[in-house]
Structure 1
């Protein structure tokens, strides 16, 4: 009996040792998994966090070269003036630049045509031969004036928040930029009414102004305004059609900006697969006319480095989030801001625009009959660079026709 007990005791001890030898590795393995998981989460969090912006005027930040106004919340907006001095101007216009641009890209101001004005002599002479020679000679003297000077137009362009030399606005909303524009005009002393023109994504900003500050507007122009596929009132079959006409990489870029905006920075900076072709400035987004007009944008090389100098996230990434995020209103629900025809609203759109689909623009114009819709045949996204186009846009805005 004693032998049996010793055997049972030895067996029991052996089983305990086996159990201990099995549990110990499992405990270590679980700890390692937990550490790896925490490390992965920390790494992932750091990866999706955008770097802090390089604020203009801060230590190691870009130099301030433009005039700026300080907003009530302490931010600064950089601006640039064009045309006649505001003190003598008959018409004051705010120009809103598009995606990946800045105050220097004020196309309607920079592409206005010069106007020839002849200086004819009123002196007479008794010698007919000298008279005719004198008159012919003086008719060769002429001066050049921009359409802006002839019409008495003052145009101010500004860097939208984060772009160029305007301070970033991390809490920017659909409404906030409209209020920034209103404050800009007040600080510049432009009076109670002003015109506004927005190009491309800047056209979206004009929609916001029509919603939040319509009482301050004398007229408005949207040039190839970017659409939001999730605006209420747009037919699903129409938005689906134009949405899937985009490149696959752009479809996913827009989805991320709309559904998981906090992942926008990572999505557009990772190297595993293609992201936004718009951020990459892909030539595939340009129509035949756009490519022909590219040489007219050659002056951008002088300032393109300023556009994203404070950081990509506060410029192009935030643009995507605001442009394709959830809006608290839809342009299709807007009412006519000029019921007594005291002003006018215009949309200009090229029918071969590969960035902004013309079909949606037609639908919006149909649903808002108070908008004057101008569709240009054979035109792409860069049609404001066509000779004389800016003259036409400005004149139609000021005349209401």
Structure 2
């Protein structure tokens, strides 16, 4: 598994890693907020078995990718096209998870001729008047508010987390497990074992590899108007969402889905936010994308 960078036209570097089948059907993966290209401790046997070349990208300021000051949601599509051209991909699919779902939708809007489909998993939806929905868990609503009003305070919180991970990783893991106990039953199951907790710490640590700045400012970015509506998306869209998701409430994405011309939805009863971590659902998500490619 190689961790690589793509040189971009403006001089920045874009970090990425590939999982699965190197000669398989290309799928670009967009991480959550905060997050990074790192999805698995090793490779992904499911992608490999299903013949998927899973290309996971770091957004600007995360992981190996250089920051892009003043970036917008739609700017991401330029990086994606440059990555695709660099990797020799004529057509491909995209998956965005949680905060990354907004970026998948942006690609569906601006890059319909290059995409087989755009998939949004446990995705955030456009906020009404820039405010997170009341159904969203309080902790997440506070993070969005702080990102907009007091990003410096949020940066301080992330710096403290980074310091704890570096100096006292076992204490951070205990705190992570404690936080997990406040989640619903579905999400709690993915933050129990030592392996699960260490993988979660790996994700966050890599997100803050160079700086905590993007972790603190990206929530405000995706809370702003996206610059397009669901009706503007002209490629097939798949939406996978848990009915009891409190991090990105299902009610909001349902409204967004209704406005997309070609959209197939999969709402999972009694499921929370971490759909991507369920092996059977991950197989199903990749399976629907492959069906679209084969049509």
Taking structure 2 as the reference length, the TM-score comes to 0.81
1:204 to partner: Cα distance: 0.8
Cross-structure match for 1:73: 10
Separation of aligned partners in 1, 2:35 and 2:209: 11
Cα distance, 1:396 vs structure 2: 1.0
Q: 2:125 matched to which residue of 1?
A: 227
Q: Which residue of 2 aligns with 1:37?
A: none
CA contact (8 A) 2:26 2:52 kept: yes
- Answer whether contact 1:350 1:375 (CA < 8 A) is retained: yes
For these two proteins, the number of residue pairs brought into alignment is 270
Q: Which residue of 2 aligns with 1:288?
A: 185
Question: Secondary structure of the equivalent of 2:10?
Answer: coil
Change (3 A) 1:155 1:246: closer
Aligned residue number for residue 161 of structure 2 = none
Distance in structure 2 (CA, Å) of the matches to 1:375 and 1:246: 17
> Residue 103 of structure 1 aligns with which residue?
37
RMSD over aligned Cα, in angstroms? Answer: 2.8
Matched ranges for 1:1-400 at <5 A = 66-85=3-22, 88-89=23-24, 91-105=25-39, 110=44, 112=46, 148-149=48-49, 151-190=50-89, 192-230=90-128, 243-246=133-136, 250-258=140-148, 260=149, 263-266=150-153, 269=156, 282-283=179-180, 286-294=183-191, 295=193, 297-300=196-199, 301-302=201-202, 304-313=204-213, 315-330=214-229, 332-337=230-235, 344-400=236-292
| Corresponding residue SS for 2:245 | coil
Deviation of 1:202 after TM superposition, in Å, equals 0.8
Counterparts of 2:243 and 2:184 in 1: how far apart (Å)? 10
Q: Note the residue ranges of structure 2 that are not aligned, 5 or more in a row.
A: 158-174
Distance 1:285 1:357 in 2: 17
Residues 257, 307 of structure 1: alpha-carbon distance in 2 compared, 3 angstrom cutoff: closer
> Which 5+ residue runs of structure 1 have no aligned equivalent?
1-64, 113-146, 233-238, 271-279, 338-343
Structure 1 residues 360, 305: closer, same or farther in 2, change over 3 A?
closer
| Number of the residue aligned with 1:35 | none
Distance 1:364 1:328, change over 3 A: closer
Partner of 2:167: none
Query: Larger radius of gyration, structure 1 or 2?
Result: 1
Paired residues of 1:286 and 1:381 also in contact (CA < 8 A):
no
Q: Secondary structure in 2 aligned to 1:169?
A: coil
Cα distance in 2 for residues equivalent to 1:353 and 1:83? 28
Tell me, what secondary structure is at the counterpart of 2:217?
helix
Structure-2 separation of matches of 1:170 and 1:105: 25
- Cα distance per residue 1:108-130 (max 9 Å; x no partner): x7362xxxxxxxxxxxxxxxxxx
Q: Are the aligned partners of 2:38 and 2:203 in contact in 1 as well (CA < 8 Å)?
A: yes
Shift of residue 309 of structure 1? 2.0
- Report what 1:4 is aligned to: none
Whole-Å separation in 1 of the counterparts to 2:226 and 2:182? 26
TM score, norm. by length of structure 1? 0.61
